[in-house]
Structure 1
């Protein structure tokens, strides 16, 4: 796939800007806070309908404007596609495909596939488990857009069940539990079943995608590190079943809920389910977060990102876009060359930087170079 045109209107600090991409690699150069990362964020939104930088649409719209818009023309193997995302400071966002409004945002997902690599991705190694779960979920949404709906279902059930457990805890604290305990237990049993049903769908899909990603990441890591280190990427689910079978996983789910019933009621929150899963990253059998230097951690993250590119290409049948947000300067020459060799001209790549000194002539000669200043983009 190839992103041909991007049109940003009242998005972040862009008032009205059109960019035509005419090379496999585009380098966006400019000082900090000029809009380089905002452009990559726009592409990320078209890909996943999410931003890793903001959860509120009103933060994405140009100050003093009510509506922002991201438009793109994308070339896929099966033809040209127009993508349209409208963001509002008040009210719901809307999406359109080939100028036709879509009723379900789910139908917008999986059209533009992209892998982003920024300095924030070091948190994949040293951050909280939630960071790794979010990363895995974002990948899954690109591979199986229906997963966005499955995850939404699970989170809705989780919120409802947590509200009930909180109600139970408050009632116990106030000595009013006896009046409604039977009703609460009956309602909780219904939410238990729904949690097990929706949660097992999340757990099984996460396990399957990591089974495919792990060997790809290990191979890249061996290549970048000169085969001196062994990377293991392992799924550590909160629910463990003997085999990958829906009924087995649901049964394991319900069994663990029973085991954790008293702690859940006393804490007023759900302690069982994929919202407590972990993705374990180890190098030479040592947890990566406590292993080695930042350089070694960057090698690990680079291996994960290259594995993402490869997996998406295998599943989708076309190479995704690669978004590199100010990371090349943090990679030494060996890692830069590994990245360059991996992407070549097969993956369209958008790169941000504050200066061109970090690039060797091979990068510069094969790239379109654009200057970004105060929400305006021009040829360098």
Structure 2
């Protein structure tokens, strides 16, 4: 898979940009705040329908404009695919694939893995960051997951609004339970499918990341990745099929002690929106005890695992986006990442200086200069 070209209109600090890519490695140099990250963000948004930097899509529209528009031609499994995506200030999003309008849960066909300095906070940052990483990773290759996640979050907002504003008025437990049942049934239906998919992906990522970490650390570090859920589906008393798990999930939400807790806190306190990932290095929790070098190895191992996982899901490697991350890695880790991407993955790299790159990379790359929202070859 690779991107042939991209057209960007009114996105961040770009008024109009039209670029073609002729080599597998594309380097973008420039000072900070010139627009390097914005270019990668546009590619990421075209692939996922999400920004890796903000949840407010209106921030992506260029100041004093009322919409942005992205268009790209990609090659996927030897077939050319045209992608178009537009968004305006009225919250209207339009997606087209080969000229045919699609709903927002349609896979765009472009798959990416992004590695930025912010990802180094994935381990020591908040659980929300790790859940967001999981959601974006899975949604790229699974329309059903994106669908269930959307409806789960919509139902969750409605339930939480009720807990905050009206639940206290219900003096009778059975009446309150009946009212919550409307949302609890939907949370169980969509939440179970989210949890099952997350656990499957974490299992696969865990195996791949462990192998990568061992290689990068030359056998000195053993990485373990596990999923921490507020709903332990392994403890359900069903027979293992989805419907039994839904009943188990629904029963948990409807228990009196759980409802009392949710009413007291005015939020829904169990479900995939409260879950987390646990990273261990040599059997110690990385968030508490990991060194800076170990954290970098974990994230690098995870990103390389993403590449391999997406390849196993769709049959080819995704596009790799490296946003000013090479300066955060030492020579050994930098070389490991670039060697992996050099021959089999189309890669877009931003940086402030050429010294961050090996000569063999510079000699085989297409080089662009970024300045004041303009890009020059």
TM-score, normalised relative to structure 2: 0.94
Tell me, which stretches of 5 or more residues in structure 1 are unaligned? Answer: 172-176
Tell me what 2:249 maps to.
Answer: 253
2:341 aligned with 1:343: yes
CA deviations 1:75-111 (Å, max 9, x no partner) are 1114111111112123412111122332x1222x250
Q: Secondary structure at the match of 2:10?
A: strand
Tell me what 1:361 maps to.
Answer: 359
Tell me what 2:232 maps to.
Answer: 240
CA deviations 1:244-281 (Å, max 9, x no partner) are 53234324323432142221121221111111111111
Q: Secondary structure at the match of 1:105?
A: coil
- 8 Å Cα contact 1:168/1:184 also seen in 2: no
2:233 aligned with 1:211: no
2:74 aligned with 1:80: no
Tell me, which stretches of 5 or more residues in structure 2 are unaligned? Answer: none
Q: CA RMSD in A?
A: 1.6
Q: How many residues of Structure 1 are paired with residues of Structure 2 in the alignment?
A: 371
Tell me what 1:193 maps to.
Answer: 185
User: Which residue of 152, 175, 184 corresponds with 2:176?
Assistant: 184
Tell me what 2:11 maps to.
Answer: 11
Tell me what 1:156 maps to.
Answer: 154
Moved over 6 A (4+): none
CA distance in 2 between partners of 1:272 and 1:99 (Å): 42
Structure 1 residues 335 and 160, CA, compared in 2 at 3 Å: closer, same or farther?
Answer: same
Structure 1 residues 242 and 66, CA, compared in 2 at 3 Å: closer, same or farther?
Answer: closer
Tell me what 1:293 maps to.
Answer: 291
2:214 aligned with 1:222: yes
Structure 1 residues 100 and 247, CA, compared in 2 at 3 Å: closer, same or farther?
Answer: closer
CA deviations 1:190-223 (Å, max 9, x no partner) are 3222222211111111011111111001000100
CA distance in 2 between partners of 1:246 and 1:135 (Å): 25
> 1:181 Cα deviation (Å)?
6.1
- 8 Å Cα contact 2:115/2:325 also seen in 1: yes
CA distance in 2 between partners of 1:251 and 1:101 (Å): 37
- 8 Å Cα contact 1:118/1:325 also seen in 2: yes
> 1:308 Cα deviation (Å)?
0.2
Tell me what 2:50 maps to.
Answer: 50
CA distance in 1 between partners of 2:361 and 2:55 (Å): 34
Aligned counterparts, 1:308-323, within 5 A: 308-323=306-321
- 8 Å Cα contact 2:28/2:351 also seen in 1: yes
Tell me what 2:262 maps to.
Answer: 264
CA deviations 1:263-301 (Å, max 9, x no partner) are 112122111111111111111111111223222111100
> 1:147 Cα deviation (Å)?
1.0
Tell me what 1:59 maps to.
Answer: 59
TM-score, normalised relative to structure 1: 0.93
Q: Secondary structure at the match of 1:204?
A: helix
CA distance in 2 between partners of 1:370 and 1:167 (Å): 54
Q: Secondary structure at the match of 1:58?
A: helix
2:101 aligned with 1:101: yes
User: Which residue of 350, 353, 373 corresponds with 1:375?
Assistant: 373
Q: Secondary structure at the match of 2:234?
A: coil
> 1:183 Cα deviation (Å)?
4.0
Q: Secondary structure at the match of 1:125?
A: coil
